[in-house]
Amino acid sequence: MTTYTSDQRRHSSATAETMADVRYEIDRIDRLLVEILAERQSFMDAAARIKPDRSKVHDAARIEDVVTKVKAACEGAGLSPAIAEPVWRTLIDRCIAYEFGSYDARRGGGDVNS
C-alpha cells in the first residue's frame, strides 16, 4: 500500500482567513494529488502488462463505469459533478494514452511515454 506524504494541514476551508492560508492548502493538496496520480499511473503499467492484446486497452464500457462511480462518490464527498466528470474523463483519456505507450513498449514498440 502506498503511504502519501504531506505537509501538515494548517486550515480547513472554514478556518482559512487569508489567501496565503488558502494557497498553502491548495499547494499541499496538489502535492498529494501528484502522488495519488503517480500511483494510478503505475496501475496503467500493470494493465498494459496483463491485457492480452492492444484492442483491450480502450474499453468504453469501463470508462462509463468509472465515470458513473466517480459521480456517485461526488455527493458524499461534496465535490461538484460539474468539476469531477470532465476531470475524470480527461484523466482517463490521458491514462489510456499512457497505457497504449506502455503496452507498445512492453512488446518492442519503443517507450512513447518518456
State pLDDT tens for residues 11-64. Answer: 999 999 999 999 999 999 999 999 999 999 999 999 999 999 999 999 999 999
61 in a structural domain: yes
For residues 110 and 62, the model is more confident at 62
Q: In the prediction, which pLDDT does 113 show?
A: 59
Tally Cβ neighbours within 10 Å of residue 60: 7
Task: Answer yes or no: is 7 within a domain.
Answer: no
CATH number at residue 61: 1.20.59.10
pTM, 2 dp: 0.87
In a domain, 2, yes or no: no
Domain count for the chain, please give it. 1
> Is residue 49 a part of any domain in this protein?
yes
Half-sphere exposure of 14 toward its Cβ, with a 13 Å CA cutoff? 0
Q: Which domain covers residue 40, as residue numbers?
A: 19-106
pLDDT category of residue 4 using cuts at 50, 70 and 90: confident
Question: Is 111 in contact with 101 (CB distance < 8 Å)?
Answer: yes
Is residue 112 included in any domain, yes or no?
Answer: no
Contact 78, 85 (CB under 8 A): no
